[in-house]
Amino acid sequence: MKTEFLKENRILFIFLSGEIDHASARDIILFADSEIDVYRPSKLVLDFKNVSFADSSAIAIVIGRSNKMKKLGKTEKIKIQNVTPTIMKIFSFSGLESYIER
Amino acid sequence: MKKINEAKIVFTSHLSNEAFARTAVAAFVATADPIMSELAELKTAVSEAVSNAAVHGYKDKIGYITVKMRLYSDFKVIITVSDKGVGIADIEKAREPLFTTSKSGEQAGMGFTVMESFTDGLKIRSTVGKGTTVTMKKVFTSKDGVK
Ligand SMILES: Nc1ncnc2c1ncn2[C@@H]1O[C@H](COP(=O)(O)OP(=O)(O)O)[C@@H](O)[C@H]1O
Ligand SMILES: [Mg+2]
């Protein structure tokens, strides 16, 4: 996992990688939350380009981080990008399509 | 239809075995040569069932999870995932989208919805105190395009 922070517009990119499942979710959540706490971004972008597998724990990751951004009082909240069609379907089951950056 | 292959794996409910189970299933169905999206869907469904057995079935204990795989000549695969954990009191409720008994914030309550949507049939049998068996059927599109 890598992050990139754009100072000008305070966008935090988190580049997730590998397989996202219930076994790896906890570490991803801890990592993302600590990065959010460090940078206090006005927008968070979760990038799935290097994610080879994801199950429903990815939904919990997105919803949880969205709630965390809301708690910080951020209005633009969160976007997800570069998701595969299968992972896109998983997100759509729980109404997360609107989070997807096109 | 003729059963052309069968396999069974038994492993402990450590969460790291979630990856082992879905990889084993992927290897098992390789001879049916599924298209990528259908294989990804099956792996996801297996992952959901195995994580449920580990996280909800056995909770803080470690028990055995069994995954049975059967492949049929008409590109159909039947997977059963069973545990001898706590069982499910209300299966209808458990199947509802967003329903979860977990408070960790790591469970979205979408596992059964994923299993249902990513397979061609989902059956849940469960007895409180005895355990749970989830049976999933997946029919692969054959390479000449027929289901
Ligand atoms: N193997 C199992 N043993 C006991 N309870 C289970 C099992 N599988 C599912 N459940 C129950 O069904 C609920 C819904 O499961 P699921 O849709 O996968 O959502 P989640 O796992 O995110 O809670 C779980 O919260 C749990 O209470
Ligand atoms: Mg689940």
Every domain of chain B and the residues it spans? 3-139
What architecture is domain B3-139? 2-Layer Sandwich (3.30)
* Neighbour order of strands in the sheet with A11-20: A2-6, A11-20, A43-54, A78-81
Name which residue sits closest to atom 23 of ligand 1, judged by CA: B100
Interface test with B, best of A20, A22, A29 (most B CBs within 10 A): A22
A16 close to A47: Cβ distance less than 8 angstroms: yes
CB contact under 8 A, A56 and B43: no
Arithmetic mean of pLDDT over chain A: 91
The answer to whether A63 contacts B19, with C-beta atoms less than 8 Å apart, is no
State how far the Cα of A90 lies from the Cα of A96, in Å rounded to an integer.
9
Report which protein residue has its CA nearest ligand 1's atom 27: B101
Confidence at residue B146, expressed as pLDDT on a 0 to 100 scale: 55
Q: How far, in Å, is the centroid of ligand 1 from the Cα of B141?
A: 29
| Domains contained in chain A, CATH given | 3-99 (3.30.750.24)
User: Residue B142 has what DSSP assignment?
Assistant: P
Q: Could you give the CA distance from residue A42 to residue A65 in angstroms, rounded to a whole number?
A: 13
Question: Which secondary-structure segment (H or E) carries B83?
Answer: strand B76-83
CA distance B124 to B81: 10
Question: Taking residues A74-99, what's their average pLDDT?
Answer: 87
ipTM for this model: 0.91
pLDDT of residue B117: 97
What pLDDT does residue A74 have?
65
pLDDT of A1: 87
Sole residue written with tokens 């997807």: A100
Q: Residue A101: which pLDDT band, with cuts at 50, 70 and 90?
A: confident
pLDDT at A60: 94
- Amino acid in the structure at residue B11: F
Of B48, B55, B108, Cβ closest to residue A94: B108
Q: What is the pLDDT of residues B92-122, one digit of tens each?
A: 999 999 999 998 877 899 999 999 999 999 9
Confidence at residue A46, expressed as pLDDT on a 0 to 100 scale: 96
Would you state the pLDDT for residue B33?
92
pLDDT score recorded for residue A100: 78
| Structural contact between residues B52 and B2, judged by C-beta atoms closer than 8 angstroms | no
What pLDDT score was predicted for residue A98? 81
Nearest to B106 among A53, A60, A90 (CB): A60
* pLDDT of residue A73 exceeding 90: no
The whole-number average pLDDT for the span A66-79 is 83
Q: Whose CA is nearest to atom 19 of ligand 1?
A: B109
CB B84 within 8 A of CB B136: no
- Predicted confidence at residue B40, as pLDDT, reads 97
Q: Which amino acid is at A13?
A: F
All residue ranges of chain B with pLDDT < 50 are none
Question: What is the interface size between A and B, counted as CB pairs within 8 Å?
Answer: 76
Whole-prediction pTM value? 0.94
Whether residue A72 has pLDDT greater than 70: yes
Per-residue confidence (pLDDT) for residue B142, from 0 to 100: 75
Distance of alpha carbon B140 from alpha carbon B38, whole angstroms: 7
Q: Is the CB of B85 under 6 A from ligand 1?
A: yes
| Residue B32 beta carbon below 6 angstroms from any ligand 1 atom | no
Smallest Cβ–Cβ distance between A90 and the set B97, B106, B114 belongs to B114
Residue A62's pLDDT is 94
